[in-house]
Amino acid sequence: MERRTIGAGALGVGAVGLGCMPMSWAYTGSQQRGEDSMRTVRAALDEGSSLLDTADMYGPFTNELLIGRVLKERRAEAFVSTKCGLLVGEQHIVANGRPGYVKRACDASLRRLQTDTIDLYQLHRADPEVPVEETWGAMADLVTAGKVRALGLCAVGARASRRAGAGVGLHDATIRQLERVQQVFPVAAVQAELSVWSQEALDSLLPWCAARGVGLLAAMPLGNGFLTGTLTPGQGFEPDDVRARHPRFTAEMMAANQPLVVGLRRIAERHDATPAQVALAWVLAQGPQVVPVPGAKRERWARENAGAAGVRLTPEDLAVIAALPPARGSWD
Ligand SMILES: NC(=O)c1ccc[n+]([C@@H]2O[C@H](COP(=O)([O-])OP(=O)(O)OC[C@H]3O[C@@H](n4cnc5c(N)ncnc54)[C@H](OP(=O)(O)O)[C@@H]3O)[C@@H](O)[C@H]2O)c1
């Protein structure tokens, strides 16, 4: 698989990573047998998808535990990217960016992951009660201590910045946060939603990253599965599935957004590929520092998604995708 580098430290990874979240969180079936999940992770490594994206809160904790079982066998092939800063409570998920907490969270992640070093340690969400420089300073100490190789910031919760008012870009608050933490310690990668149906990161965030040699991990690159063309409008989702509450997964919006799937499928046929692979190839085409982390529970999907690294979209394909109607349905 093609390799990409993220961050000024030039960390090498396979161009397509593996999002491990669906194995333990957010989707129906996320409590599938550990053996099945481990088979999926091993398949991703077999195919060259070295970047395994997890978080302490997925499960909580069980996702890191299962990644750790694979790392025990195959640490040298993997690039482990995990996250801290969100705690799963009885009722709510709360941010905790206190320096002492972050350091304890890192030690706990290292134990669960059965490794001495985390390749990329990401702040899942900034804690509004703690200046982000303090949290980031504690994370920088972890690099100095050799527990972490590089630092990243997640911008997936940035929708609040758009709600702040007209004319405020989705990622404006993220960029302000990035400028602040860069003063303390370099950012190697930003994680943000980026897919054919959520392209806001292209406006200002990706240019910001490109100008500074910062990697962009594209979260939800398959539009939570919609862009794969395997979901049917009106199929319904179990209450434990994030899509049961997602405004783009009502029967009406899934039907309204079918032209996106139809467009991807037409291009896929020309490349002897699948719509999922074309959706990921589009993400890869956005810049050499972009690494999609498609989520998958199933081994079959992990192998198929890795194959997207071999799909080269032509300028005509990219023009067809650019001309597709913007996705309908929004969180705002
Ligand atoms: N930093 C953050 O706050 C944040 C937030 C969200 C996500 N993320 C990261 O981004 C990753 C990806 O996001 P995501 O998993 O929510 O969304 P996604 O990658 O857009 O879509 C995942 C869904 O697509 C399905 N799928 C995957 N490959 C497929 C294929 N080839 N054909 C058909 N269906 C396929 C999966 O099914 P199965 O599960 O059945 O295999 C899963 O339901 C996560 O794993 C996580 O690492 C980070």
For 210-267, the DSSP string reads HHHT-EEEEESTTTTTGGGT---TT----TTSGGGS-GGGSHHHHHHTHHHHHHHHHH
Peptide bond into 60 cis (omega under 30): yes
Residue nearest atom 48 in ligand 1 by C-alpha distance? 219
pLDDT at 162: 52
Backbone φ, ψ for residue 195 (5° rounding): -160, 175
pTM for the whole structure: 0.96
Among the four given CATH numbers 3.40.1500.10, 3.20.20.100, 3.40.225.10, 3.30.70.980, the one describing domain 3-223+287-298: 3.20.20.100
Q: Which two tokens stand for residue 90?
A: 């009885």
Element housing 51 (H / E): strand 51-53
- Do the beta carbons of residue 280 and residue 294 sit within 8 Å? yes
The verdict on the CB of residue 192 being under 6 Å from ligand 1 is no
CA distance to 7, 210, 266, 275, 317, per residue, from 213 (Å): 6, 5, 34, 30, 27
Q: Which amino acid is at 221?
A: P
Residue nearest atom 10 in ligand 1 by C-alpha distance? 219
The Å distance, Cα 132 to ligand 1 centre, comes to 28
Q: Is the pLDDT of residue 264 over 80?
A: yes
- Based on the residue annotation, tell me whether 58 is a catalytic residue of this protein: yes
Hey, is 1 helix, strand or coil?
coil
In this structure, of 114-118, 155-159, 171-175, 310-314, the range with the lowest mean pLDDT score is 155-159
Q: Is the pLDDT of residue 32 over 80?
A: no
Domain assignments of the chain as residue spans, ordered by start: 3-223+287-298
The per-residue pLDDT for range 70-107, each reduced to its tens digit, is 999 999 999 999 999 999 988 899 999 999 999 999 99
pLDDT at 166: 47
Residue nearest atom 15 in ligand 1 by C-alpha distance? 295
The verdict on the CB of residue 154 being under 6 Å from ligand 1 is yes
The Å distance, Cα 236 to ligand 1 centre, comes to 18
> Can you state the percent helix, strand and coil of the chain, rounding each to 5?
45, 15, 40
Q: Which two tokens stand for residue 17?
A: 């990573």
